Structure 1
Amino acid sequence: MLALHTSDWHLGRGLHGHDLLPAQAAFIDHLVEVVRAESVDVVLVGGDVHDRAIPPVRALELFDEALSRLRDAGTRVVVISGNHDAARRLGDKSGLIDPRIRIRTDPATVGVPVVVEDADGPVRIYAIPYLEPATANALLPAAAAASPTGTDPTGTDPTGTDPTGGAASATFSQAATMRRAMRAVRADLDGHPGARSVVVAHAWVTGGAGSDSERDISVGGVGNVPSSLFDGITYTALGHLHRPQAITPAVRYSGSPMAFSFSEAADRKACLLVDIGRDGVRAVRGVEVPTGRRMAVLRGTLRELLTAATFAAHEGDFVSAVLTDPVRPDDAMATLQRRFPFALRLAHEPPAGAADDRSFGERTRGRTDLEIAKAFVAHVRSDPSPRERTLLSEALDAARIAEEAA
């Protein structure tokens, strides 16, 4: 069986105000091309399909289009919800759509596999959506309470929560909740000795390296799930972390298909082709996702960034600039965008000893309220857009009129 592992599409997400939906549509085109070219049997989507609980209409339409096109390309699709998704919304039509498309968002179904047949027999795919400990434990199947043959290799819960996974436990960690889910998986596998198995899950597994664009899913400071929970599973397709990485040879993150923060600028985004043979995983191969617009972090004085030939290759990139001028230049972002029209972020790091040690009053003396407000926004984020400048001006005018009326 050939599976294509992908996750964290975050449809509808922007990048510092820049619309990424056209790039996400191009990724769907790429995904369909890979499915056709490689004759993929099943596509595994490890959660965070959308970026927020109520996605833009265009993002919903793109997801529907993706499912239809993947089905028409001759593959099956198994999708789980992530912590960014609204599980009920994502899975509200799961019982009505084509049986080749499975959207799993209900913790009660974690022990019910999607079975895919190949020349070597069945592969049992267990879809475990993101499990919020505060709510998921009451929904997990009764089989999660214990493994009938004791095949759970993980022992007691190291977090100090109820090791039996019983519903009476007052608090649960991510590890304890996932442990209960995996007991349900193993309870089903106990009835199918020697079966090949795949788990699709959305979690932060211990040893995984994060980036700046993931939302923290820790509860009470305990968010990591031990990789040993997946021991004995033929392949575990993980979602949540945006960097592609292997926790073990059989437990992997595909990563997000595009960078959502400048901390991922150097990452090579990919989907994973997983070849599962009669005796287990034969090979895992990354298929690089084409990058429409690269990311670059540039450092130097404003003059250097505007004139140095070494930066010419980045004029079409998304740019995060770190200015090293002794004093932050006025209108730095607007000036920078003359050369780098896709400059999105600006930081100021003056050389040691060059910081402006004047008082706030000295630094703002002679400047209008609007100039001070614009400078503040630029200092804590980046230069305000023309629309934001208009809003600042209107707010200051309204405050002045109200003060005069009083």
Structure 2
Amino acid sequence: MRILHTSDWHIGRSFHGHSTLDALRGVLDALVGQVEEHGVDVVVVAGDVFDSATPAADCYRLLTDVLMGIRDAGARVVITSGNHDSAARLGFQAPFLGRAGVHVVTDPLAVGTPITLDDAHGPVHIYGIPYLEPALVRHHWPDQALRTQEQVMRHAMSLVDADRSARGGRSVVMAHCFAAGVEPTPGVEREIRQDLRQGSLDVVPLSDFDGPDYVALGHIHGRSRLSERVRYAGAPLHYSFGESDRPRGSWLVDLDGTGLASVEWLDLPVPRRLVTLRGTLDDLLHDDRFATHIDDWVCAILTDATPPHEPMRKLKARFPHCATIQPDPERRSDASTRTYRDRVTRETPDPQIVDDFLDLVRDGEGPTEHERDLVAEVLSAHAGEAAR
């Protein structure tokens, strides 16, 4: 059986205020093409189909079109809900969809009951584990201590393992969680930051996934191989600049008559590259080395000591897809370490007070001559008013 493992479509997510629907449609159309080209038997989508619990109508239309494309290409589909999905909305009419070859698993009580599909070697049991929030599912199993994601997933896998032992044959597990062994690189996973538990991540040990022939994970937006059998496919689009160096695609998984035979990575197209450019505003606007990024999504890190005027308007004139600006002024090594209180005394002249203030907040770079002239003009006018 040939399986395509994908996840974290996040239909409806915006990128710095820009809609991603058209870009995602193009990428998922390419995924449908891969299903047909490689003769895929089943596509597994491991959670976070939607980005919101209340998707807009356009999001449903995109999902419907993609699922129809996959079915027309000859593959069946198994979908589980993630932490971004509404299990109730995603699972609406799941029994009806199952008759059409699209199996949607959102009910916690369905854990341990597989979707069984057959190939020339016999049955393959696909166990979908939807995202299980401990506080929302522990009432289903009151005899279990379920306070953490690890405890919930361990219990879910015990139900899967019990059923696997009774049925025998080959098996695949789908889950949406943070598994031990994944490196949480900064800026990549906002879900990871939301899953912090008393200073550490609420992780699921890799050993909890022992047994199945393949484990298709979702929740992490970058491709990751935890073992030969346990993998993350990541998201099909780049949803943050922290993900820009990570490939987009899915895993093509082959099962033979005895279990896992091979796993191959299939790249998906990147509609628009994401780049982070660093320099002063003047450098970014005029330096030729940045010319190749005019059509990219741009995160501009500005190193100007003084915040420039209307930087986004100016940057968009050169980079129409500049999405965000991050100020990071370069520090002068010879900046004074005196505090502002140290610098100002009762005898300090007013112009010197302004000079020292600007020198402090600019890390050693005081006012320009033009600024000194403006300060002198204002102070002179103020002195004239006071004299009258």
Range class of TM-score, shorter chain: 0.7 to 0.9
Per mean C-alpha deviation after superposition, the further-off stretch among 245-254 and 88-97 is 88-97
Aligned to 2:43: 43
One of 145, 152, 156 as aligned partner of 1:181:
156
Q: Which moved more, 1:301-310 or 1:124-133?
A: 301-310
Checking the alignment, whether the CA contact within 8 Å between 1:174 and 1:218 is kept in structure 2 is no
Corresponding residue number in structure 1 for 2:320: 341
Q: CA RMSD in A?
A: 2.0
Equivalent position of 1:197 in the other structure: 171
Which residue in 2 is equivalent to 1:69? 69
Change (3 A) 1:312 1:122: same
Deviation at 1:138, TM superposition (A): 2.5
Equivalent pair of 2:97/2:104 in contact (CA under 8 Å): no
Cα-to-partner distance string for 1:331-373 (whole Å, 9 max, x where unaligned): 01110111101001101111113899989xx9xxxxxxxxxxx
Unaligned 5+ segments in structure 1 are: 141-165, 363-406
AA in 2 matched with 1:116: L
Q: 2:268 aligns with which of 286, 289, 295?
A: 289
Q: What letter matches 1:196 in structure 2? A: R
Displacement of 1:60 in angstroms is 1.3
Question: Within 5 A, what are the aligned runs for 1:203-218?
Answer: 203-210=177-184, 211-215=187-191, 216-218=194-196
Higher helix share: 2
Q: How many residues align?
A: 333
Decide which of 276, 290, 310 is 2:255's aligned counterpart.
Answer: 276
Q: How does 1:4-403 map to 2 (within 5 A)?
A: 4-99=4-99, 100-139=101-140, 167=143, 169=145, 171-193=146-168, 195-210=169-184, 211-215=187-191, 216-218=194-196, 223-353=202-332
- Letter paired with 1:214: R
Secondary structure of 1:335's aligned partner: helix
Amino acid at match of 1:201: A
Preserved CA contact (<8 Å) 1:3 1:40: yes
SS at match of 1:190: helix
CA distance in 2, matches of 1:225, 1:107: 18
Separation (CA, whole Å) in 2 of partners of 1:253 and 1:222: 17
Deviation for aligned residue 1:328: 1.4
Q: 1:381: which partner in 2? A: none
Task: Name the CA shift for 1:27/1:15 in 2 (closer, same or farther; >3 Å).
Answer: same
TM-score by length of 2: 0.82
- Asked whether the 8 Å contact 1:173–1:222 carries over to 2, the reply is no
Q: Give the distance between the partners of 2:144 and 2:234, measured in 1 at CA.
A: 36
- Matching residue of 1:373: none
Partner of 2:369: none
Is the contact made by 1:174 and 1:219 (CA closer than 8 Å) also made in structure 2?
no
Gaps of 5+ in 2: 342-349, 351-388
The structure that has the greater radius of gyration is 2
The 2-side partners of 1:333 and 1:56 are apart by 29
Letter in 2 for 1:190: S
Per-residue Cα deviation, 1:216-239 (whole angstroms, up to 9, x for no partner): 235565510011111111000000
Deviations 1:229-250 (A, max 9, x none): 1111100000000010001110
Question: Which residue identity does 2:298 align to in structure 1?
Answer: V
User: Is the CA contact 1:5–1:274 (under 8 Å) kept in the aligned structure 2?
Assistant: yes
Once the two structures are TM-superposed, the CA of residue 137 in structure 1 deviates from its matched residue by 2.5
SS of the residue corresponding to residue 85 of structure 1 reads coil
In structure 1, distance between residues paired with 2:227 and 2:124: 20
Report the Cα distance in structure 2 between the residues aligned to 1:139 and 1:200, rounded to whole angstroms.
Answer: 20
Measure, in 1, the Cα distance between the counterparts of 2:4 and 2:322.
34
Residues 298 and 50 (structure 1 numbering): CA distance in 2 closer, same or farther, change over 3 Å?
A: same
Contact 1:199 1:233 in 2 (8 A): yes
Q: Distance in 1 between matches of 2:32 and 2:244?
A: 25
- Code of the residue aligned with 1:217 in structure 2: it is D
Q: Secondary structure at the match of 2:94?
A: coil
Task: For residues 276-301 of structure 1, give each alpha carbon's deviation from its aligned partner in whole angstroms, at most 9, with x where no partner exists.
Answer: 11222111111111011000000011
State how far apart, in whole Å, the 1-side matches of 2:269 and 2:294 are.
19
| Structure 1 residues 57-81: Cα deviation after superposition (integer angstroms, max 9, x where no partner) | 1011111111122112111100000
Q: Deviations over 1:235-269 (max 9, x none)?
A: 00000000100011100000000111100111111
Distance 2:66 2:306 in 1: 49
CA distance in structure 1 between the partners assigned to 2:77 and 2:144 by the alignment: 36
Q: TM-score scaled to structure 1, two decimals?
A: 0.79
CA distance in 2, matches of 1:183, 1:282: 25
